[in-house]
Amino acid sequence: MRVWRSGAALALFSSFACASDSRFTFQPAQTVIARDIADIHNWIMLIIAVIFVTVFGVMFYAIFKHRRSLGHQAKPFHENTIVEILWTLIPALILIGMAWPAAKVVLAQKDTHDATLTIKATGYQWFWGYDYLDSGFSFKSKLKTPRSQIENYNSPGEPKDEKYLLDVDEPVVVPVNTKVRILTTSNDVIHSWVIPAFGVRQDAIPGFIRDTWFKAEKEGVFRGQCSELCGRDHGYMPIVVKVVSQNEYKDWVSKRQAAAKAAADDPNKNWTKDELIARGQKVYESNCVACHKADGKGGGPFPALAGSKIATGPAEAHIHIVLTGKNAMPSWAGLTDTEIAAVISYERNSFGNHDGDFVLPKTVKAARK
Amino acid sequence: MNAATKALHPGESVGEQVHGHTHDHAHDDAHHGAQEGWRRWVYATNHKDIGTLYLWFSFAMFLVGGVMALGIRAELFQPGLQFWQPEFFNQLTTLHGVIMVFGAIMPAFTGLANWMLPLMIGAPDMAFARMNNWSFWLLPPAAALLLISLFVPGGAAAGGWTLYPPLSIQAGMGMDFAIFAIHLLGISSIMGSINIVTTILNMRAPGMTLLKMPMFAWTMLVTAYLLIAVAPVLAGAVTMLLTDRHFGTHFFKAAGGGDPILFQHIFWIFGHPEVYIMALPAFGVVSQILPTFARKPLFGYVSMVYAVCAIGILSFMVWGHHMFAVGFPATAQLFFMFMTMLIAVPTGVKVFNWIATMWQGEMTFETPMLFAIGFLCLFTIGGFSGLVLALAPVDIALHATYYVVGHFHYVLVAGALFSLFGAAYYWLPKWTGYMYSEFWGKVHFWWSMIAFNITFFPMHFLGLAGMPRRIPDYPLQFTTFNSMASVGAFLFGTAQILFLINVIRTIRGGVGPAPARPWDGGHTLEWEVASPAPHHTWETPPDEATVVAGLRLQGLEHS
């Protein structure tokens, strides 16, 4: 890569006097891959600049000299086999000079082996979810910029802060100098996970897992934006990665794990009806409300729960439909026994349903078999 | 429009062909003259009338798509949301793309082909005159579907012109309107293409073998084959989308075992040849204009033909470069990178040939020539940025950013559109019988040229710095270049009003009558007929002596 780098420096120097201003070129590279990308880009820009000047030099010479207003007479030649062969072969050779270093970087980009840390990034409309697969916790990462800064329809709105559209409530945290493998997938439509400073971009595709990797060389906060059109708020789901020292990372992970444990349900707990219903409301709000609505009346293809046969009939059928799904409703077997028990208890005692009964986690566990 | 179009086609009585032997029997039959009033257009079977319809339709669509572009640029003038809700912004970007590609550029080239191909190859009309009528009249309903879709519940399609599922499966009924519009446009394109292929292969003047046709005929021939090959592919893709949306299939739904990426493969197997469907006719137009104003034969005619064919064939093998970010294995990434870079070779040959055509010429710089040279400069820049994007690792940094937006506008606006303007000025004297205002033509060129670069050049910087495309709002560091691009866009839009005025004034008499051969360097057959071209031309084919004389001057006949 040395040759390309020195060519790169030259290209930077000659073609972009303003290259140091990050508004004109790539963000400062934080990984080997990002640096390789910048180097290839500079190398190819150098070649392009030379070709451009040569070819257009010839053309503009003709435009200024070979014109009727100067009395120039047309020379009606119209073929020259040797010239034509040369200007087919020479560009082909130049292309090989471009493709060779690029091919090496393609292979490096695709080499996700031997990662120390694996994080799954899931695209949602319109935020990202992260699962730290090695450490067993996960969180959602949502835009922090308030709507009052974004919406300027009637007034200039609140002043936009420096990190406008680039700040999230919970950034991804990774240790410095560690190979991190990012698995991408999506919950709904295609999104794309991007950190320009790392030279990383990978579409997140529903139903499929793709991967990419990076090894950040410096501590700091690095930002990107979803780059595959994913609907209304496509412009409002940034990606923020915070690179910290190894020790800081360990502390952060243990804090996260402790918090996850505290939030998890104790499988041996003895639930009362009211506790279950209160817990069930939370489960309902984060999983069911999009289709069955907050008032349980449903809408469109999604049936009402209020007064429905399932929610007022025998509990066994209710458990069955939640575990297996029906028509547009997916299976919710991915929820824990406690969550399913809670949400069913909630549904049977809300929206005007007064079954009076409730379902215990062990009943759900039994129904799973 | 009525007065204008009447002037555009004064019919038999006014026109008198230069070579009497091409027009040696009287035309008193009623069916030979143009019909009066609306019937002339609705029942049109004359290639010139249909060409005129195509050209006006595409210009109208160009204005509609242009207004949408201005809506996009107005919102992006500043960060924050000032005018549109994000979902309406997405509808604007989607419709702008669909309308400009399918409504403006493609019909404009089909219109040119309709008007000029029979004149240039010495044919009396297109091969299938009634099918020609049908292929035009499918366009207005398709355009209407797209425009009506703005007002249906949920609004127009908002998934980008690429219509990627699952987003487009989620969308409201506007997407169905877009799907049916694409079906109609596809049928229209296929019929138009069959007409072009048949006309070129069967109706050439005596002495005009395939390798002696004007380059414009060659590029339209290859374009038509590309369209026949890929328009059904697009129709298939959107039909699968339709059945996924409404009939419970799972082609693109992972939940049912489908694959969302399958759509992207199918779409781009159509989509990449589509790029050349819009670029090749532009190459053809430029290959007609440059020799005329350099007063020299086109350099390397045969290698130009081979280059066009090579580009056509390679265009089927590079679709993956639109998908470098989906997560291909390394081998696919490398294959598509190498194939894409290979296209630079025939494209380079074309650029070198054009410059060699200008070299040692006797050039004058009327408006068509200016647009051809503008095309050459800016299309080459678009080609260079294409080469940058072809490098898969660099594409990972630039994919779906404004760099791509800048790139394809250099290719499609400065490429296809500039060549269309060049073609319009080049052939306006033949179409209307009058000369356009050279002064206002030149103002139009320079204004467009400058405004175009103010609009699109900064987008390269935005993309390098990481600004994603298709966002209604952006982080603050992108403000300067976005404001600049917005100002440029409004300037560019204004310039097109000059063009419209110039054309209308030309139809109404311009700066005076045009001779049959307004450009002394033009040696193709269309300059052998009177200006304006009579309603019927080449009813008896041009005799071989006329054809051969022209071919000699084009450097295509040596004996």
pLDDT in tens, A202-233: 999 999 999 999 999 999 999 999 999 999 89
Chain A CB within 8 Å of residue B369 CB: no
**B chain contacts of residue A68, beta-carbon cutoff 8 Å:** 295, 362-364
How do residues A326-359 score in pLDDT, each as one tens digit? 766 767 777 788 889 999 999 998 888 887 788 8
pLDDT, mean of residues B341-363: 95
Looking at the complex, report in whole angstroms how far the Cα of residue A238 sits from the nearest Cα belonging to chain B.
10
Statement: residue A10 has pLDDT above 50:
no
The ranges assigned to domains in chain A are 2-110, 117-143+163-263, 273-367
Q: Give all strands of the β-sheet with A180-186 in edge-to-edge order.
A: A137-141, A127-132, A117-124, A180-186, A210-214
- CB atoms under 10 Å from CB of B213, counted, come to 23
How do residues B213-249 score in pLDDT, each as one tens digit? 999 999 999 999 999 999 999 999 999 999 999 999 9
Chain A CB within 8 Å of residue B393 CB: yes
B558 domain-assigned: no
Question: What does the alpha-carbon distance between residue A77 and residue B427 come to, in Å, rounded to a whole number?
Answer: 26
Least confident of A33-47, A110-124, A328-342, B177-191: A328-342
Chain A CB within 8 Å of residue B1 CB: no
Question: What does the alpha-carbon distance between residue A137 and residue A257 come to, in Å, rounded to a whole number?
Answer: 6
Task: Provide the pLDDT confidence category of residue B7 given band limits of 50, 70 and 90.
Answer: very low
Question: What does the alpha-carbon distance between residue B216 and residue B301 come to, in Å, rounded to a whole number?
Answer: 12
How do residues A161-191 score in pLDDT, each as one tens digit? 999 999 999 999 999 999 999 999 999 999 9
Q: What residue of A is the nearest CA neighbor of B298?
A: A78
- Across the interface, of A41, A62, A227, the residue whose CB is closest to B400 is A227
pLDDT, mean of residues B259-279: 96
The residue count of chain B comes to: 559
B99: DSSP letter: I
Which 3 state secondary structure label does DSSP give B280?
helix
Domain count, chain B: 1
B228 domain-assigned: yes
Statement: residue A311 has pLDDT above 70:
yes
Q: What residue of B is the nearest CA neighbor of A34?
A: B397
Looking at the complex, report in whole angstroms how far the Cα of residue A79 sits from the nearest Cα belonging to chain B.
5
pLDDT, mean of residues A287-302: 75
What pLDDT does B503 receive?
Answer: 97
What pLDDT does A308 receive?
Answer: 87
What pLDDT does B86 receive?
Answer: 92
Q: Which 458-517 residues of chain B touch chain A by CB within 8 A? A: 461, 464-466, 468-478, 480-481
What pLDDT does A287 receive?
Answer: 73
Q: A269 or B448: whose pLDDT is higher?
A: B448
Q: Rg of chain A over CA atoms, in angstroms?
A: 30
Q: What residue of B is the nearest CA neighbor of A204?
A: B326
**A chain contacts of residue B363, beta-carbon cutoff 8 Å:** 62-63, 66-68, 72
Looking at the complex, report in whole angstroms how far the Cα of residue A86 sits from the nearest Cα belonging to chain B.
10
Question: What does the alpha-carbon distance between residue B217 and residue A200 come to, in Å, rounded to a whole number?
Answer: 45
What pLDDT does B15 receive?
Answer: 39
Chain A CB within 8 Å of residue B211 CB: no
Mutant choice from B167, B287, B306 vs A, greatest count of A C-beta within 10 A: B167
Tokens of residue B256, six digits: 């049912």
B323 domain-assigned: yes
Task: Provide the pLDDT confidence category of residue B2 given band limits of 50, 70 and 90.
Answer: very low
What pLDDT does B184 receive?
Answer: 97
pLDDT, mean of residues B93-101: 96
B559 domain-assigned: no
**A chain contacts of residue B380, beta-carbon cutoff 8 Å:** 52, 55-56
What pLDDT does A327 receive?
Answer: 65
CB atoms B260 and A205 under 8 Å: yes
> Residue A106 half-sphere exposure, CB side, CA atoms within 13 Å?
24
Domain that holds residue B12: 2-553
Chain A CB within 8 Å of residue B350 CB: no
Question: According to DSSP H, which parts of chain A are helical?
Answer: 2-15, 32-65, 81-110, 147-150, 246-263, 273-287, 289-292, 309-312, 315-324, 337-348, 361-367
Question: What does the alpha-carbon distance between residue A39 and residue A95 come to, in Å, rounded to a whole number?
Answer: 16
Least confident of A130-144, A287-301, B133-147, B458-472: A287-301
Question: What does the alpha-carbon distance between residue A21 and residue B86 come to, in Å, rounded to a whole number?
Answer: 30
Q: In this complex, how many residue pairs, one in chain A and one in chain B, have their CB atoms less than 8 Å apart?
A: 293
Looking at the complex, report in whole angstroms how far the Cα of residue A66 sits from the nearest Cα belonging to chain B.
5
Picking from A287, A278, A261, A270, the residue whose alpha carbon sits closest to that of residue A362 is A270
Residues A102, A105, A107, A109, Cα dihedral to 10°: -130
The residue count of chain A comes to: 369
CB atoms A24 and B464 under 8 Å: yes
Chain A CB within 8 Å of residue B193 CB: no
Statement: residue B13 has pLDDT above 50:
no
pTM of the model: 0.86
Question: What does the alpha-carbon distance between residue B217 and residue B298 come to, in Å, rounded to a whole number?
Answer: 14
Mean pLDDT of chain B: 92
How do residues A88-123 score in pLDDT, each as one tens digit? 999 999 999 899 999 999 999 999 999 999 999 999
Mutant choice from B322, B352, B457, B479 vs A, greatest count of A C-beta within 10 A: B352
**B chain contacts of residue A207, beta-carbon cutoff 8 Å:** 253-255, 258-260
What pLDDT does A24 receive?
Answer: 86
Task: Return the exposure string of B257-282: e unless at least 16 CB atoms fall within 10 Å of the residue's CB, then b.
Answer: ebbbbebbebbbbbbbbbbbbbbbbb
Give the CATH architecture of domain A273-367: Orthogonal Bundle (1.10)
A314: DSSP letter: -
Task: Provide the pLDDT confidence category of residue B559 given band limits of 50, 70 and 90.
Answer: low
What pLDDT does A328 receive?
Answer: 63
Looking at the complex, report in whole angstroms how far the Cα of residue B233 sits from the nearest Cα belonging to chain A.
22
Q: Which fold has domain A2-110?
A: Helix Hairpins (1.10.287)
CA distances in angstroms from A329 to A301, A308, A353, B172, B177, listed in the order given: 10, 15, 21, 20, 28
What pLDDT does B240 receive?
Answer: 97
Task: Provide the pLDDT confidence category of residue B269 given band limits of 50, 70 and 90.
Answer: very high
Q: What residue of A is the nearest CA neighbor of B170?
A: A189
What pLDDT does A290 receive?
Answer: 67
Task: Provide the pLDDT confidence category of residue B9 given band limits of 50, 70 and 90.
Answer: very low
Q: Give all strands of the β-sheet with A238-244 in edge-to-edge order.
A: A172-175, A238-244, A220-225
Catalytic residues of B: 96, 125, 161, 188-189, 272, 274, 276, 287, 321-322, 347, 350, 469
How do residues B374-432 score in pLDDT, each as one tens digit? 999 999 999 999 999 999 999 999 999 999 999 999 999 999 999 999 999 999 999 99
Q: Which 311-340 residues of chain B touch chain A by CB within 8 A? A: 325-327, 329-330, 333-334, 337-338
B204 domain-assigned: yes
B461 domain-assigned: yes
**B chain contacts of residue A93, beta-carbon cutoff 8 Å:** none
**B chain contacts of residue A231, beta-carbon cutoff 8 Å:** 87, 90, 158, 167, 170
Contact in structure between A18 and A24 (CB atoms under 8 Å): yes
What pLDDT does B426 receive?
Answer: 97
B144 domain-assigned: yes
- Across the interface, of B301, B396, B400, the residue whose CB is closest to A78 is B301
Domain A117-143+163-263, CATH homologous superfamily name and number: Cupredoxins -  blue copper proteins (2.60.40.420)
Mutant choice from A81, A89, A229, A239 vs B, greatest count of B C-beta within 10 A: A229
What pLDDT does A301 receive?
Answer: 63
- The domain that holds B523 is classified in CATH as 1.20.210.10
pLDDT, mean of residues B13-36: 50
Statement: residue A64 has pLDDT above 80:
yes
How do residues B60-90 score in pLDDT, each as one tens digit? 999 999 999 999 999 999 999 999 999 999 9
pLDDT, mean of residues B258-273: 96
Chain A CB within 8 Å of residue B450 CB: no
Chain A CB within 8 Å of residue B380 CB: yes
What pLDDT does B14 receive?
Answer: 40
How do residues B489-504 score in pLDDT, each as one tens digit? 999 999 999 999 999 9
**A chain contacts of residue B296, beta-carbon cutoff 8 Å:** 74-78
- Across the interface, of A23, A34, A98, the residue whose CB is closest to B341 is A98
Percentage of chain B with pLDDT > 90?
90
Q: What residue of A is the nearest CA neighbor of B254?
A: A207
Tokens of residue B82, six digits: 């000032």
Statement: residue A246 has pLDDT above 70:
yes
Task: Provide the pLDDT confidence category of residue A368 given band limits of 50, 70 and 90.
Answer: confident
Looking at the complex, report in whole angstroms how far the Cα of residue B394 sits from the nearest Cα belonging to chain A.
5
CB atoms B338 and A77 under 8 Å: no
ipTM: 0.89
What pLDDT does A284 receive?
Answer: 87
Burial of A354 (0-12, 13-18, 19+ CB in 10 A): exposed
